[in-house]
Amino acid sequence: MTSTQDPSPEARDNVTDHNVETRAELLPEEDAAGGSADPEAQAAAILAESEERTLHPDADEGGHRTSDQTV
């Protein structure tokens, strides 16, 4: 997320423990870059930010637009 706003409580609530555990498994490029001191906390933050963008898209910040907005 490019803004300085934290994800909403709704976005955080939508992040499941299973999703965090799955995302906490480092990708090869993340592992090669030195990994993470706290992969579960990092995963939870990444997933909450992603969920926030899904719940509250902002077209001015790269969110998805509907077809009528592209005309």
Helix, strand, or coil (residue 46):
helix
Residue 65 is predicted with a pLDDT of 64
Residue 30, pLDDT score:
87
pLDDT tens-digit profile of 3-55? 567 999 999 999 999 999 999 998 899 889 998 899 999 999 999 999 998 88
Residue 26, pLDDT score: 87
Domain ranges of the chain: 8-23+37-56
Whether 2 has a pLDDT exceeding 80, the answer reads: no
The pLDDT score that the predictor gives to residue 58 is: 74
